């Protein structure tokens, strides 16, 4: 084990954690505001990747793919919340079953439209290079992922912590009923948060499509990771999603590098331990 191994693996873990943050921050926000356990969140990631793929094929523009993926999936999220989930407000089991129903339908739909072959979203030349520092080689694309996640995280933090809209969202997380009782249009806030969460997952899907690929089953492959991040960090907490993502990204990466045969163990054992000691997660509130 050389120092290079540790640096590169840490870097890989951080970049994977950055991708997980895009996926999990939306899931956590949605749960915090609406108490919906959205099992279709992985589908937003996968569909975002597929939409991005089609857009790159048509236009050749990676930027257009990012925007189109996020917007298209935000619209799907808005439709799901407005037309279906809202009717089941407060019925946890009904909502969970409905979101898993949607997840399975999205899976079939993706198979029908894009077929069963795996694809990788072609990257613009600017992101294909490698940055070298001495003997160390860092793929530009992984640096790009870390930068995007950092910018998204900073933007989310500023909006949530520094604006009146952000305070309204946090008020709805604290006490949804009382938020309505002081005049906050909680249904509108919920819809906005749901759309934002779906868009972030899709953004993660397009970005992930350039490095993990886009393929059938990607939805249910990323979903457990997103849930581990959110549960470890604390449901509904943005700092929790940040720390949880980095922790899971690093654990998963070092687990696979050091003990490939135990990779699930190195991921889920710390989760069980954290939950046993802090049932609300690292940053969660009771």
Partner 1 sequence: MLELSDLHTYYGESHVLQGLTLSVRPGEIVTILGRNGMGKTTLMRSIIGFTPPRRGRVCFKGDDVTRWPPFRMVEHGMALVPQGRRVFASLTVRENLEVARQSRTGQWTLPRVLELFPRLGDRATNRANKLSGGEQQMLAIGRALMSDPDLLLMDEPTEGLAPLLVREVGRVIAGLKREGLSILLVEQNLPLALSVADRVHILSRGQIVHSSGPAELMANETVKARYLGVA
Q: 166 or 217: whose CB is closer to partner 1?
A: 166
Of the candidates 36, 72, 173, 202, which one interacts with partner 1 according to CB under 8 A? Answer: 173
Q: 167 or 273: whose CB is closer to partner 1?
A: 167
Of the candidates 101, 136, 174, 279, which one interacts with partner 1 according to CB under 8 A? Answer: 174
Kindly state the helix (H) or strand (E) to which residue 154 belongs, with its residue range: helix 140-162
Do the Cβ atoms of 248 and 28 come closer than 8 Å? no
Do the Cβ atoms of 286 and 280 come closer than 8 Å? yes
Contact mark string toward partner 1, 185..214, x via CB under 8 A: xxx---------------------------
The answer to whether 133 contacts partner 1 (rule: CB under 8 A) is no
- Token pair, residue 48, equals 């975002």
The answer to whether 226 contacts partner 1 (rule: CB under 8 A) is no
Nearest approach, Cβ of residue 90 and partner 1 (Å) = 13
The answer to whether 182 contacts partner 1 (rule: CB under 8 A) is yes
Of the candidates 75, 167, 258, 275, which one interacts with partner 1 according to CB under 8 A? Answer: 167
Q: Which stretch binds partner 1 (CB under 8 A): 36-44, 65-73, 160-168, 267-275?
A: 160-168
Q: 155 or 167: whose CB is closer to partner 1?
A: 167
Q: 16 or 283: whose CB is closer to partner 1?
A: 283
What secondary structure letter does DSSP report for 164? H
The answer to whether 181 contacts partner 1 (rule: CB under 8 A) is yes
Nearest to 240 by CA among 199, 217, 194, 274: 274
Q: Name the 3-class secondary structure at 133.
A: strand
- Token pair, residue 26, equals 């939306």
Q: Whats the size of the chain, residue-wise?
A: 286
Q: Which stretch binds partner 1 (CB under 8 A): 19-27, 145-153, 173-181, 207-215?
A: 173-181
The answer to whether 261 contacts partner 1 (rule: CB under 8 A) is no
The answer to whether 98 contacts partner 1 (rule: CB under 8 A) is no
CA distance 253 to 260: 10
The answer to whether 87 contacts partner 1 (rule: CB under 8 A) is no
- Token pair, residue 49, equals 């990747």
Nearest approach, Cβ of residue 189 and partner 1 (Å) = 10
The answer to whether 184 contacts partner 1 (rule: CB under 8 A) is yes
Cα first-last separation, the chain = 42
CA distance 245 to 264: 16
The answer to whether 286 contacts partner 1 (rule: CB under 8 A) is no
The answer to whether 164 contacts partner 1 (rule: CB under 8 A) is yes
Distance (Å) of CA 60 to CA 53, 119, 124: 10, 15, 9
CB neighbour burial string for 185-214, b if at least 16 within 10 angstroms, e if fewer: ebeebbbbbbbbbbbbbbbbbbbbbbbbeb
Kindly list the residues in this chain that would bind partner 1 in the complex (CB under 8 A): 164, 167-168, 170-171, 173-175, 177-187, 285
């Amino acid at each position: 084990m050389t120092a290079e191994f540790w640096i590169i693996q840490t870097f890989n873990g951080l970049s994977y954690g950055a991708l997980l943050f895009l996926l999990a921050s939306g899931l956590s926000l949605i749960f915090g505001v609406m108490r919906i356990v959205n099992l279709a969140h992985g589908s937003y990631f996968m569909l975002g990747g597929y939409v991005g793929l089609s857009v790159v094929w048509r236009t050749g523009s990676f930027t257009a793919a990012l925007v189109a993926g996020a917007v298209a999936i935000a619209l799907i999220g808005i439709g799901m919340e407005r037309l279906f989930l809202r009717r089941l407000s407060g019925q946890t089991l009904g909502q969970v079953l409905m979101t898993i129903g949607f997840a399975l339908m999205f899976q079939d739909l993706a198979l029908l439209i894009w077929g069963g072959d795996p694809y990788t979203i072609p990257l613009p030349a600017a992101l294909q290079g490698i940055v070298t520092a001495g003997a160390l080689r860092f793929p530009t694309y992984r640096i790009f992922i870390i930068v995007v996640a950092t910018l998204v995280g900073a933007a989310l933090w500023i909006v949530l912590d520094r604006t009146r809209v952000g305070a309204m969202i946090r008020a709805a997380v604290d006490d949804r009923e009382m938020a309505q009782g002081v005049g906050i249009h909680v249904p509108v806030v919920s819809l906005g948060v749901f759309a934002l969460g779906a868009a972030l997952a899709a953004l993660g899907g397009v970005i992930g499509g350039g490095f993990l690929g886009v393929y059938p089953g990607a939805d249910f492959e990323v979903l457990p990771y997103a849930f581990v991040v959110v549960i470890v960090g604390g449901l509904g907490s943005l700092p929790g999603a940040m720390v949880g993502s980095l922790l899971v990204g690093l654990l998963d990466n070092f687990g696979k590098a050091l003990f490939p045969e135990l990779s699930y163990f190195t991921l889920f054992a710390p989760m069980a331990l954290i939950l046993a000691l802090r049932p609300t997660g690292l940053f969660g509130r009771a």
